[in-house]
Each structure stands twice: as structure tokens, then as C-alpha cells.
Amino acid sequence: MSFEGLPKGSTDKRRSLLESMYLLEVVRGLGVTARHLLRNIFHTGDMPTMQYPEEKRVYGDRFRGRHRLMQREDGTPRCVACQMCSTYCPADCIYITAAEHPDPAIEKYPATFDIDLLRCVYCGLCEEACPCDAIRLDTGIYEIAADHRDKFIVDKEFLLRNTTDGTR
Amino acid sequence: MARLTIDGSAIEVADGTSLFDACRLARGESLPHFCYHPDLSIAGVCRLCQVEVEGMPKLTIACNTTVREGMVVHTRSERVRKASQQILEMHLINHPVDCPICDQAGECGLQNQYMAYGLYDSQVAESDKVNKAKALVIGPHVVLDKERCVLCSRCVRFCNEVTKTGELGIFNRGDRAEIGVAPGRELDNAYSVNTVDICPVGALTSRDFRFQKRVWMLKSTDSICPGCATGCNVRVDHEAGRIYRLKPRRNPAVNGSWMCDEGRLTYKDVHAEDRLLEPLWNGRVVSWADARGHLAHVVAGGFALVIGSAHQSLEEMWLLRQLAGTAALSGGLAGSDLAVGDDILRSADRTPNRRGLALAGLAEHDAAALAGLVRAARGAILVHGGDPAAAPDVAAAMAGRQDVVYVGTHRRATAAAAALALPGAMWAEKAGIFVNRQDRLQAFAQAVARPGNAREDWRVLGEMLPDQGRAPTGLKALRAGVAADLAPALAPTIDLDRLPQGGVPAGGDA
């Protein structure tokens, strides 16, 4: 098998002498950089970079952000602790303990409803499984940061406070 | 014998067999049903098990039909399918379909049969349904939801026929008919939670289990109730190391389909606050390594007295006898754990294995005699299970001794009286054999993990054997030893390592 390239030690014959000296090419490269620099200085609006966090990207309506628990009219959770979401959840990140509600018309409610945001994969299967439309991922919140792992496990009160306008 | 044809296949059954049972044999699965129950009378009210019998003009319910020679039966014809679908639709007319908050969801007759035989679109608007009372507490253990009821009358028949207390009845007529408790009564018999088990829907739910867990999350292990000498066959439903409920397993030779309410709560002791979780040396938590050091020191001269208990497995009792050797041996406190029994299931003897003591050759002593044995012991004392020091006499005899070793499960009187208390396993945390009051050997399997640093009792006891060459290497080896030693008392057909489901009498099957 013969190697179609060049003999060992030779320079690339496809480059001209001028090119293989590099000096002119370095100057040409600096020219490209300078062109972009000058355009960005004088045409700031054309820059693809966003000024996050002052400026935020707009996502589509179907973007799945941090969860929220829907409320009844009296502010209590709509959730009846049927645990369909935690059963369906592929990441196993929803932890619910059910309790007896004093009102027999409601009967069952979540005493605790915790979501581990670090485990969650934001697949949205919980909202599909929910028979009461009690959990939604429509808050649009994607800035999920904290300084301790424990703070990513959010509770019922936290989830009830979440709203669609991205505030909490 | 009667020969008949069911769905084209010929089958031969004993005369007097119900067509329902014959169909189950022929089909390999039951006909759809709510009201039929093998241990209750035939009511024939749910009308779901209708089959087509050639020569009969109309469909007939299989549960209330006896097989006849030459019958030709169709259970999967279009007529039958349509009939059961329509009957199911009738049952669901006023059903609230509140499955999300219903504990029965996942093991519900309505859900299962709708998926198998229904799958129609409902023609009843939610607003047209008849509303009834929900979440009614009707007794110490049972909650009633009248809306979910399909009026199969199993619970009513149970209270009339099994407990003969008759608390429940069906009141009113038509779509206002509902299950209710007789005026001035409550469902408080000693077997009330069986109505929850046999309820095919979520009308009756257990207050103890209510909302604790969705049933599809539970894993089941076959076991034996440790609550009394009857040894009801049970299923332990557990998840993540926690037991959520006990359910009876059908065994016509022992408990039928039932178990008592008291027995159902025996699992609470497994998760009791006062479980012995770590070895204790004079009340101080020590590691197992340190505990072994203390043990070697205490029993340097061997045990002078070994005390067993009727709460332990047959294997452990036998091992205890090997351990005792020439030392004095007692089966524990005679007459302990006695309560009121009845002629349904509950035995006055609230220990699961008193007959096992007799089989393993351990004699019980009353408190005075046991205290005498303790005082006479010139050397270390081993107490395995039970709580003999709960008797003041025995506690007084043990007081001040520094050579009492206790292998047990709870920090109760004996654990406090012992110098060294070693944590053993509860029945649900180990495998073993109980011998019930009928001298029936029944095996139980390990359901949940042992908490803390508790260990299997036979391992703990095995380490104490003076001749470590004879220490059992596993449960199978231990059982081989038991079988060889107890051979004269056990029928030769019995394989202790593979007891049949439902147990076997010590004398073998008649």
C-alpha cells in the first residue's frame, strides 16, 4: 500500500512559498479579527450575544420550567395525593404523603408534596398523569440555582407560590 | 362425576360442583364476579358471572347453577360478553369514579373488570349520579363510602355468616339502596377488617391502611401471623423496609379467607419505638465486636441456664436446645401471653409457636419455677426472645446478676434486666417455621430488612455454640439439623426447607 501523501520531512507542495512563510497569513487573520471588532463596536445591535441576566431569552409557551401546584379557589392545593405523578415519574423525584382531609367531599389531600429539582428531568409526564390538573410545568422558570443541595428539594408551600409570570 | 363441555373443551368435575368453579377450572381464570366468594354463601346478586348454557332460553348465573351431566356451556360468546358489559355498566351508573382518592385503586374489581369486559363510553353525566354519604367512620377499623358500593352484599353476608354479629345490612331500594350499619350499632366485631378485604370495590376501607400507600407500590411476601397459636396465613405488604398491612391468604385448613383485626396490627410491633437496634452492655450501646468480647467474658464457663420463648421459630428453638447442652433448659414462661380466644379463629394462646416448643423438646415453667431456675443457675444465663422478666418473680431473681445474656427484639423488662442485650430479628425480618395449635408446620419468609444492627437470631445463637464446627452455616443447614433430630416426630414426607404453601401437619397429610 502506498501512502498518497508526501515523503517524510518535505514541506507541503500545495502551499506557495509566501504562504508557507506565514507572515502574510498572520496579518490577514488579524485583519479578520479587526473587522469583527470594529463592526461590533459600531453596530452593537447586530451582536448575537445576549446581555443575560439583564436581557432574557423568550421561550415558547410549551417550555417546561419549574413546577407549580395549582390551587383551589380557597388557596389549598388542587392535588388529591393520588400519587399518579410519583408513580409515573421516570426520575422518581416526587415524594407525597397523603392525609385525611376534614371535608369528606375532598377526603384526601397531600400533607407533604416535595419535588427534588435536581432529580427532575422536566419531562412533563407528571402533568400528563395528573387527573386533577394540579401540577404544571408552565411557570417558565428555568433559573434553578441554590447554594445547597437541600434547597433543591422544594415543598408544597413553595410549589403553591410559583406562578406563571416567573416570580415566586 | 359430571362431564360437561365449557367453551368447547370437555371437563369432568365432581357432582354438586358449582358451574362457577367448573368454569374457573376450564378457563384457567374466574368469570367476572363481585358477589361470589368461596367462603360465603351464594347470593347471586351481581349478575356478572352470566354464561350461556345450551338448552336454556336465557343466560344463567354460573355461581348459583350446579353442574349437570352433558351441559354445554359458553362463557366467551358474544351474548355473554355483551351481557357482562351491560351489567358492568349498570354497576357503574352511580359509581363516583373517584379512583384518585380511593384506596382500592389498583386492586379494584370495578377497575379490573372494566378493563377486561367493559371499555364502553359512559352514558351517564356526572350530574345525574345519585350522591350518597362518603368517608363514614362505621367502626374502630373501617370507613364506609356508600357511593362506591356495588351492593354485592359480601360484607353483609360476612357479618351474618362468619362472625354472626349482623351489624351490616342493605337499606332502601332501587338506586337509593345502600349499605349501612344497623341503627345504634357500629361495625366493631373482632374480624371487621375482613369486610374491607372482601369488598370488591373501595366502599369499605381500612382506617389503619387508609391513604398510607398506593397499593401498586407495595411488594408482598407470604408469611404467618405471629399474633396467636392459630397461625393464620398472611401476606405481608411492604415497601422500602416498612410494613403497611397484613392481608389473609386463603388456607381452608387453617383460617379460610379470614384473619382477626388484632392479628392485622401485629406488624406495628416490628416498627415499634422501643425496638432493640444495637447491642447493649448494661444499657450502653456497644458495637457487635465489643458485644462479642463481653459475651466471651460472661459465658467463659458456659451457660448454666437457657430460656427460650414461644415467640421464636422452630429452628431457633432447636438451636437453643443444642446450645444448652447439659445446662438447664426452659421454654420460657408458662401461661404468658394468654388472652380471650373465640371459636372463629383467635386462640387464647397469643404466641405463634407454643406447639413448636413441645416439638423441639423445651418445657415451659411458671414464674415461680423459672425464678427458682434463675436463682439456682451457677453460671451465665441465656434468654432468647419473649420477655420473662416481665414477671416480677423472674425480674427479682435476675436483679443484680451480671451474667444474663438476652437475644431479643425490644427494649422491655428482660432487655433491661440483662447485662448484655443482643438485637435479634422479628418474624417479618427472618425466615422460619411456626407450629400452630393444630401441630401444623407453616413456613414464613423474610419480608423486610432488619433495622439497625439487628441480626438473624440463628446466627447470633450459632456463634455461641461451644463447638463452632457444629454452628449452622445457613438456614438450609440449620433445617437439615432440625429435620434429622426431630425425625421421629415428623412425617418422613416433610421437607422443612420446602414446606408446601399452606403448611403441613407434623404427622404428615392424612
Per the CB < 8 A criterion, the answer to whether B303 and B324 are in contact is yes
Q: Cβ of A107 and B100 within 8 Å?
A: no
Name the least confident of A114-118, B334-338, B401-405, B430-434: B334-338
Q: Does residue B272 sit in helix, strand or coil?
A: coil
Sorting pLDDT into bands at 50, 70 and 90, what band is B233? Answer: very high
The stretches of B104-163 forming alpha helices (DSSP H) are: 109-113, 154-161
Mean pLDDT on B208-225 = 96
CA distance A142 to chain B (A): 30
Sorting pLDDT into bands at 50, 70 and 90, what band is B118? Answer: confident
Q: Does residue B168 sit in helix, strand or coil?
A: strand
C-alpha cell, B138? 362505621
Mean pLDDT on A63-87 = 94
When computed from its CA atoms, the radius of gyration of chain B, rounded to whole angstroms, is 27
CA distance A63 to chain B (A): 27
Whether A1 shows a pLDDT value over 80: the answer reads no
pLDDT tens figures, A105-155: 899 999 999 999 999 999 999 999 999 999 999 998 888 899 999 999 999
Interface of B with A (CB under 8 A): 98-101, 105, 133-136, 210-212, 214, 216-217
Q: What is the mean pLDDT of chain A?
A: 88
In chain B, what are the domains? 2-92 (3.10.20.740), 127-215 (3.30.70.20), 280-505 (3.40.50.740)
Hey, what amino acid is at B415?
A
Q: Cβ of B100 and A80 within 8 Å?
A: yes
CB nearest A107 (choices: B99, B134, B212): B134
pLDDT attached to residue A8: 61
Sorting pLDDT into bands at 50, 70 and 90, what band is A164? Answer: confident
Q: Cβ of B211 and A84 within 8 Å?
A: no
Nearest partner of B433 among B313, B253, B255, judged by Cα: B313
- Residue A77, phi then psi, degrees to nearest 5: -65, 145
CB nearest B211 (choices: A87, A100, A104): A100
CA distance A105 to chain B (A): 7
Non-local CB neighbours of B58 within 8 Å, separated by 6+ positions: none
Residues of A in contact with B209 (CB under 8 A): none
Q: Cβ of B211 and A108 within 8 Å?
A: yes
pLDDT tens figures, B251-273: 999 999 999 999 999 999 999 99
- pTM equals 0.88
The stretches of B1-57 forming alpha helices (DSSP H) are: 19-27
Q: Cβ of B135 and A107 within 8 Å?
A: yes
Q: Per CATH, is A68-160 categorized as 3.30.1330.10?
A: no
pLDDT attached to residue B466: 84
Whether B186 shows a pLDDT value over 50: the answer reads yes
The domain ranges of chain A are 16-52, 68-160
The stretches of B106-173 forming alpha helices (DSSP H) are: 109-113, 154-161
- What ipTM does this complex have? 0.84
- Provide, rounded to the nearest whole percent, the portion of chain B with pLDDT above 70: 100
Cα–Cα dist B486/B357, whole Å = 12
Mean pLDDT on B426-452 = 96
Whether A10 shows a pLDDT value over 60: the answer reads no
Per the CB < 8 A criterion, the answer to whether B362 and B317 are in contact is yes
